[in-house]
Structure 1
């Protein structure tokens, strides 16, 4: 199949979150399976040495009603020398200090920027004569594309057999903008469709994608189910229910070339399930690196953005009680300044057992995964989650809430001891989280041989992109028939 993969970010080029990882790993896997994949993304000036990539097209997106045009260039790059990447360059839209926002404030014209990107992507594909069987959109940034295909190109012989799919990585972010931002797309801005509108003057990009795409998937089966519920749908549950027959869940794979303790260059000692002594050495060196007492107390690690979504609001109310126990806790992440300040206060109070690093530090993230005994992910919602997969690979038992991809990828000891890989709690309550932490602590202290068995279980689990890509293939085929 010919697949045009649209994304707002891409690992090795520019990244703010998990979407960038998926946008690299899935196309790479699809190419291995003999599909012709072209990735399309904005040419941000933050992309290292973007000006070295050759310009392969000079184009203009024109409004047919008043003949105003937006000129742009197309540059061509390669991802890992395997997948062609087309970069849409327009200084006004993409030569900025950041991708989406500055100083925690989204760019006011994000609707216009990403509407332009979606429309320019289809124009470029036509110009370069790459006829896609599938246009694969991701999240709200590219969610207008299925609508543009359906309305602007409805009589186009070029796109007549093209089908669109959209992947929901995080349904909380929907892209709601005034219709006036779509001035270059009268085919879209003048549509009066209550299903995709948000009030009288606004349009909801994600609703457009869900309404017009041929198939929809979420990044885990449980998250697909949650999207259809009042609590999990973020105000769009009915939109998903209306498309229930075209909605599925596909768990993300994990990039084990980056996250495998037997080859990881970011950790002091490599190990596997047969050489667990070296995991203990990683633990002691993590303690040394973070200025914690070097000892055999269990380490609970956490690497995340400091937001309510990640369950920080479940952790902070019970932090005092948690740190009364003989444990060590290491949290790495940045976020809301008020949350950072609270955690910094706790480091003064519990200097011998709690470390908080308000940084994004890839090496430290790897060291925390390798050196911890447990990994905390008490998320309020989690479409897929990657850190629990990393934790499993490193024999660091995840403590997670029963939501989304966490529920789909971790097996709870209290429900299935034989195949267990971690611990799960259900209620989004601080006390429920604390009870689960205590349960894990008792397990570590009183059933240590059993703990080591579960650790081996965890290390033998694999969520390979080859399996995920097979599921995406099936979805593509169903979209085409």
Structure 2
């Protein structure tokens, strides 16, 4: 199959979050299955600085709604895949990926990316069997392709060029929908207003993409179920429920080439199921790095995440003082909400022997926290998929999670015979505290059970090959 994969970021080129992990791993996995995958993404200012690519397509001009948009295209070979990077001032002159709207609104910027992706596909005579877009950034691509937009604005001459192309949109996080005032999106005019999803003169890019896509793939089966409810979907459940046959949840994979404790170069010592000595060394180094006493028998809880409400801090903050009454150590690394960050710094100052907070994100330290911790905390309010719990399982670190989204699909509670972690369902601080206490009690009183859970977790695999095969099935389905 020919697959046009449109996304806003790709790991190893530019990354702000987990979306980039998918942008790299899924196309590579699809390519290994024999598909011709082409990625389209922006040529950001930082990318231009890092790569300094030459043009593969010289200046192209699109005349739309009385304005003209001139762009160039760079090409990059990437693990056997061609990446086309759209060079336009909206991207190459913006100071950041998403925060700089001085040149145009994000809705306008990424609408242009979607149009350029289709234009490049047409220019190169690459008629895809599948158009695969991701989240709100590229959600208007199916609208532009399936509607009369391209013909109406004379962007293509062959009316049937995309006639056989099926569109798929992956929902990585429905909380972000690309809502914007229509007058800040010049690429959309009054005609479009009657076809896209608009409310009170605001376009909603994600909702529009869901309406026009042939298939909708949330990033885990549980999240696919959750977005059928109004609260779980952040308000897009009506679109989801209008065509439930279009919705197929597919769990993201984990890149075990980067996350393998037996070969991880970020670690002071490596380890595997048959020889776990290196994990104790990792714990010792983590304790030293965090300024904590090197207590071998004291359980250490790790956490690496955005400091945000979504990640469960409304549950964490009320119980930290109670939690620290126990024999435990706690290391958190992340950046985000200033008010929560200030409280975490305060707790760290008042409990230096038990609690350490690092306001940063350092990849090498995230690996060390995964490897050196006994437990990894992820009590998310919602978690479409999540990756850290997969890393934790691979590193023999038992996850403590809320039974929601991808966490529910990957972590099996201690109450089951094939347990790999600890989970709770009701979103409350007391339920979280009870679950952590259960984990600490099990650590001290049931070491053989903990060892069994660790082994079962380390033997669990969530691969991108499996995810790619599920997407392949979606691509082929009617």
CA distance in 2 between partners of 1:41 and 1:33 (Å): 22
Contact kept? 1:400, 1:423, Cα under 8 Å? yes
Quote how far apart the aligned CAs of 1:108 are.
6.1
1:196 equivalent in alignment to 2:197: yes
Quote how far apart the aligned CAs of 1:191 are.
3.1
Aligned to 1:469: 468
Quote how far apart the aligned CAs of 1:243 are.
1.8
Quote how far apart the aligned CAs of 1:311 are.
0.4
1:26 equivalent in alignment to 2:15: no
Quote how far apart the aligned CAs of 1:290 are.
1.4
Aligned to 1:149: 145
Quote how far apart the aligned CAs of 1:269 are.
0.5
1:295 is paired with a residue whose SS is: coil
1:160 equivalent in alignment to 2:174: no
Report matched runs for 1:68-87 at 5 Å. 68-80=67-79, 82-87=80-85
CA distance in 1 between partners of 2:224 and 2:51 (Å): 40
Contact kept? 1:400, 1:424, Cα under 8 Å? yes
Aligned to 2:40: 40
CA distance in 1 between partners of 2:143 and 2:318 (Å): 45
Select between 221-230 and 56-65 the one with higher mean Cα deviation.
Answer: 56-65
Over aligned residue pairs, what C-alpha RMSD do you find? 1.6
Measured against aligned partners, the alpha-carbon deviations of 1:87-122 in whole angstroms (never above 9, x if no partner) come to 0001244422210015xx998611110011101110
1:317 equivalent in alignment to 2:318: yes
Task: Please report the TM-score for the alignment, with normalisation by the length of structure 2.
Answer: 0.95
Aligned to 2:392: 391
Aligned to 2:238: 238
Paired residues, number: 470
Measured against aligned partners, the alpha-carbon deviations of 1:238-264 in whole angstroms (never above 9, x if no partner) come to 111012111010000000011010010
CA pair 140-61 structure 1, distance change in 2 beyond 3 A = farther
Quote how far apart the aligned CAs of 1:198 are.
2.2
Aligned to 1:344: 345
Measured against aligned partners, the alpha-carbon deviations of 1:259-306 in whole angstroms (never above 9, x if no partner) come to 010010001111001111211111111111211100120000000000
Aligned to 1:177: 180
Aligned to 1:95: 93
Quote how far apart the aligned CAs of 1:148 are.
0.3
CA pair 108-24 structure 1, distance change in 2 beyond 3 A = same
Task: Please report the TM-score for the alignment, with normalisation by the length of structure 1.
Answer: 0.95
Quote how far apart the aligned CAs of 1:50 are.
5.3
Contact kept? 1:176, 1:198, Cα under 8 Å? no
Aligned to 2:134: 138
Structure 1 unmatched runs, 5+:
none
Structure 2 unmatched runs, 5+:
152-157
Aligned to 2:373: 372
Contact kept? 2:210, 2:240, Cα under 8 Å? yes
CA pair 288-93 structure 1, distance change in 2 beyond 3 A = closer
2:46 is paired with a residue whose SS is: coil
Contact kept? 2:94, 2:103, Cα under 8 Å? no
